[in-house]
Amino acid sequence: MKCSRDFIIKLIFIIVIASATSLWAYNYFSTKVFYIDDHKYSEKPTESDRQTRYMAWSGEPIWITQYPDYKQLQVNGEVYRLKELESTEYKRVYQVIYPNGNSYTVEDVNNSGFLMAYDKKGELFIELQVYSNHGSILAQGEKFYHPSSLVTAAYDHYHQHQGNVFIFTLSIACFIYCWYVYRKESFQRFLFKISYGVWVVDPEPSDMYFFAMRISAIAVMVMSGLFVLYSLK
């Protein structure tokens, strides 16, 4: 009776942990993000239908305001104006106007998501900036945001789901399997029999086998934990 009760408690605990992990993973991996100056931004709730707010752990908040024919992006106290000039099956073209009046054109050729920026002369614009504290610095207290980064922030079809759910799931499954191998000698014996039972009659594992299995299980659990962290990037 006691064994049955302990089993039910363990089963309930496992179900609760699995459900909580699944709900957290679904929320995490379904969230879309984008990056500016190595800061990861995600959408946060707002009370306005026309405004969208994006936040990062250490970056400046970004506000996107939707107007009938253009978008306004506000970050670090500066306002940028973005407009989609052309949208076809083969490419999309955007205009980005900076607070100082400078204008750039950003093209998404073949709708691949790879954005290329051009200055007013039509020449390819390549950002060459000095970075400090994860921000590109022009002058004292002044930051520069690349036109392609601004387009990525303003248009949510360039946002991507964060993390890698396949690596996360595989790593969790591998960790659970190795934990079971480490904890259960009976499972180690089972693995030994299915590995050597075909060639050996009544095989019996040695102490060295059990020791090697536990060490291997620990090593793989550590690797699985590292891959879980990697999958969250």
For residue 116, which of 131, 126, 106, 127 has the smallest C-alpha distance? 106
Q: Residue 5 domain-assigned? A: no
- Is 4 a residue whose pLDDT tops 90? no
Q: How many Å apart are CA 46 and CA 52, to the nearest integer?
A: 7
Residues 89 and 118 in one domain: yes
Of 42-51, 65-74, 177-186, the least confident: 42-51
pLDDT bracket for residue 125 (50, 70, 90): confident
Q: Residue 209 domain-assigned? A: yes
Q: Residue 93 domain-assigned? A: yes
Token look-up 């014996």 returns 189
Share of the chain above pLDDT 90, in %: 58
Neighbours of 197 (CB within 10 A): 12
Residues 120 and 97 in one domain: yes
Residues 127 and 201 in one domain: no
Range of the domain at 227: 14-28+164-231
Q: Residue 102 domain-assigned? A: yes
Residues 145 and 168 in one domain: no
pLDDT bracket for residue 197 (50, 70, 90): low
Average of per-residue pLDDT across 119-147: 66
Residue-wise pLDDT tens digits, 72-98: 999 988 999 999 998 888 889 999 999
Residues 68 and 140 in one domain: yes
Residue-wise pLDDT tens digits, 136-165: 554 444 458 899 999 999 999 999 999 999
Residues 196 and 214 in one domain: yes
Give the residue with greater pLDDT, 5 vs 33. Answer: 33
Residues 65 and 113 in one domain: yes
DSSP symbol at 201? S
- Contact (Cβ atoms closer than 8 angstroms) between residue 127 and residue 136: yes
Q: Residue 227 domain-assigned? A: yes
- Where is 181: in which H helix or E strand? helix 165-183
Number of compact structural domains in the chain: 2
- Domain-ending residue, one of 98, 126, 160: 160
Q: How many Å apart are CA 137 and CA 120, to the nearest integer?
A: 22
